[in-house]
Amino acid sequence: MLERLDGTLFGPNQPCFGCGPNHPIGFQLKFEQDGNAVVTRFVPGPQYQGPPGIMHGGLVMTLADEVGAWSLLVFKEKFGFTTSVEGKLRLPVRIGVETEARAWISRESSRVARVSVRISQLGEECFAAELGFVMMDKFSAEKLLQGPMPEEWLRFCR
């Protein structure tokens, strides 16, 4: 079981836009386990707008990708690198309104997982997606990154 469910798990200077605790413009997300799901709550600020008052669609996808990846960290203790996304924006995600993102593993094999994600505001579903992730060993991850895995990340590459 992971001792922390936020980006400090990977060290204070890790660069992730979604969970990096010191990323100057990132989401700085924290997570919790809720049964078979991972949940994060986030209030999008004006810096994340696309159209006035609405969160940029690409950043909604970023939120979905992040909570999906954390479902693998929490339940499999493995990194997942995103390989596919199929989603639908059902309602606009509003700026300044608490947003809940929830993800759970819907299918998996030894190296590939499908993750379901739902993003909602005020109890209404705004975005639904299925994401594909590949879980890599150290060699494959370093090949993808074109460099060594940070020390704090190694335990999740097996």
Q: What is the pLDDT of residues 94-127, one digit of tens each?
A: 999 999 999 999 999 989 999 999 999 999 999 9
How much of the chain exceeds pLDDT 70, in percent? 99
pLDDT at 157: 87
Q: Residue 32 pLDDT more than 90? A: yes
| Cα first-last separation, the chain | 16
pLDDT at 39: 98
Q: Residue 134 pLDDT more than 70? A: yes
Give pTM, 2 decimals: 0.94
pLDDT at 1: 66
Fold of 7-156: Thiol Ester Dehydrase; Chain A (3.10.129)
Average pLDDT of the residues in 120-141: 95
Is residue 14 very low, low, confident or very high in pLDDT (cuts 50, 70, 90)? confident
Q: What is the pLDDT of residues 147-158, one digit of tens each?
A: 998 888 888 987
* Domain boundaries defined on the chain: 7-156
Cα distance between residue 37 and residue 115, in whole Å: 10
